[in-house]
Structure 1
């Protein structure tokens, strides 16, 4: 897991061969002009999903993980909390779906991360995460960048 200021993300470019494309995207995109939906950055190797929603999650309800893609979570407007846990503390809730690249887990042991408009959270396969935890009643505008896992 990486928690960093967006402005510092280029320091992590060597972690994954596709992170330099993410850096370029972050540095050259005006997020206020992007509509909800998928945005291609580098084909199926790197793409972003923009979304707007009301965060309604309760910490510890359902964690997810991915194998084929890493997630980079960025809040564009408002604030959101995310719960993070580890495989050792989690129990399988729904079998891993290879087609959708997602597995769901329960965990009573977790930490909270606050995502603001200036930071980001990178989750790897071993980083079980629960997004959309409510901070306030305002809509959250967010993007999740999906990055092909270099380990797969």
Structure 2
């Protein structure tokens, strides 16, 4: 997992060409003007999902991971806690291979991701987004899905 401000995105360009392209998309576009939904950047190789929601208590969070895709979760407005753990020690409870979603029970750390910051979750890193920090708040977030090959 990586967490940083979007202003420092260039430090992570070397991870993968599509990660670079996804971070550049976040920098180059006014994401406040995007309505919630899915937007194509490079077909199934790289796309972005704009989400708006109310954060929730930790107990309502859901641990998930992906095997094919990296998640770049960027906070457009608001802030939230994101759970993080490695897959070892988690108990898989649900599997949707066709959608690249795997769900777990277990515990992990909560990291605060503030407006203007992003978190990168690599394949098999378990995360639980949408958790409130002290109290619920409205969030606007971009999730860039990066296919690794």
Normalising by structure 2, report the TM-score: 0.92
1:130 maps to what in 2?
128
Q: Aligned residue pairs: how many?
A: 148
CA RMSD of aligned residues (A): 1.5
Residue equivalent to 1:58:
58
* 1:32-84 CA distance string (max 9 Å, x none): 11110011112211111001001114158531000111101111111111111
TM-score (norm 1): 0.90
Cα distance in structure 2, aligned partners of 1:125 and 1:24 = 21
* Alpha-carbon distance change, 23 to 68 in structure 1, aligned in 2, over 3 angstroms: same
Gaps of 5+ in 2: none
- Segments of 5+ residues of structure 1 without an aligned counterpart are none
Superposed CA offset, 1:76-99 (max 9, x none): 1111111111112211111x2111
Structure 1 runs of 4+ aligned residues shifted over 3 Å read: none
Kindly indicate whether residue 114 of structure 2 is the aligned counterpart of residue 116 of structure 1: yes
